[in-house]
Structure 1
Amino acid sequence: MIIFRFISCTPESKTVETKMHESVLKSEYVFELENAPTPECHASTVAESKDGLVAAWFAGTKEKNKDVGIWVSRLVGTNWTAPVEIVNGVQDDGTRYPCWNPVLFQPEDQPLMLFYKVGPSPREWWGMLVISDDGGNTWSEPQKLPGGILGPIKNKPVQLANDDFLCPTSTEHDGLKVQIERTTDLGQTWTTTGDINDGKKIG
C-alpha cells in the first residue's frame, strides 16, 4: 500500500504527523506544500496506468469557488511531475463553474479515464469525462455525459468480464439516492438502474 498525502495545501499542515499502518510501503507528498499551486485541494484519486501512477484532485482558492479545476500529477521515475490543471468549468458562453470529485479509472487494455463533475453544487452538477492514451500525459477534449448520467461520484467503476463498466453514482436533489450506471463502449452510451432507494435510507 502507498499513501499519498493531500492533507492540505498550506505549509502549516506539514507539521501533521500520522502514524502509518505496517502495510504502508511509502508515504510522500506529491508536491512540496510551500510551492502548492493552489490554496486548497481535495478529493484525491490515484490509478496505475500502463506508464505508471497518476494522481488527480480538484483544487482552487476554496471548494465550490468558480476557479476550482481538476489537477493531475504523474510519477515519473521516483519524482512526481509538477501539478497541471487539465480541465476547468468554463462553458462556451464564458460562464465558469467549479469542478468536483475526479475519479481516475484504468480499465484493462483500454485508455486511462478521468470522470469528474462540473456545476454550482452537488445538487446541480453534471458528469464529464476525459480520456488519456498516454498514461495521463495528454488528455482528450472534455466530453459531457448524457442527461441523467453522472458517472462515478467518488468510487471507481467495476469492469465486468464482458468489458462493461458498472459505475456507482448518487444524486442529492431529493434526498441521497443511489444508482448504478452501465456503459458498454468506454463511456459513449449509457444505461442506468434509476434510483435503488427512496432517499431516506439505503438497504
Structure 2
Amino acid sequence: MTSGIWITLEGGDGSGKSTQAGLLAEWLEGRGRTTLRTREPGGSEVGVLIRDIVLHHRGDIAPRAEALLYAADRAHHVATVVRPALERGDVVIQDRYLDSSVAYQGAGRVLDPDEVRNLSLWAAEDALPDVTVLLDIDPSDARRRLDAADKPFDRLEAEREEFHARVREAYLQLAHAEPGRFLVVDATADPDDIAALIRARISVLL
C-alpha cells in the first residue's frame, strides 16, 4: 500500500492488545523507527465521537446500524490517519481493524460476516495491514482479567459469554483463512514471550 508498515492487533476484550502495542512501539523506536499508535474506533476526532456512541450509548443500537458506525469510523480513520502515516514511512500499530467488525458485528451480532467484511473493505478502499496479530484467549479467562481490572464494562465487554465465544471462533476462522497475514499467539502466555514472538514476525518486514 505504501512505504510504511501497518500492524494491527486483534483479540477479545482483555487479551492484552494495549500491553503488546506498547512493547512493540518501544522496541521499534529503539531500532530507529517512527511509530504511530492508534485504534478503532476512536483514532481520530470523528472516531472519538463514534466510539462514544458504539461503546457507551445506554440504549440499544440495531446491529446493522452498529456495523455502519464502525465502517464510518474506519473510512475516516484510514483516510486521515493511517494512510498519511504510512506514506511518511511510519510504522502504524493499531488496536483493532476490520477483523474486529467481522468477529463482533458479524459473528457476535449474527450478521453475515462476508457482508460486514465487504462493507469495511469498501469503507477503507480495500486497505489491509501487513501483519495482524491475534491474541487468542478463552472468553472465561478474558472475563477474569476484566473483572480484576475493576473498571466499568463497555457495551461489548458486557455481552454474555456465548457472544464472546462466537467472537473468538470467528477470529480463529479468519486467521485460518489468511495465514500469511495473521500471527496467532496464546494471550495467556508471559507478556515478554508474546512480545518476542511478535518481534520475530515483524523483523521480517524491517
The TM-score bracket by the shorter chain reads under 0.3
Higher strand share: 1
Q: TM-score, normalised by structure 2?
A: 0.25
**Greater relative contact order (Cα < 8 A, sep 6+):** 2
Higher helix share: 2
Q: TM-score, normalised by structure 1?
A: 0.26
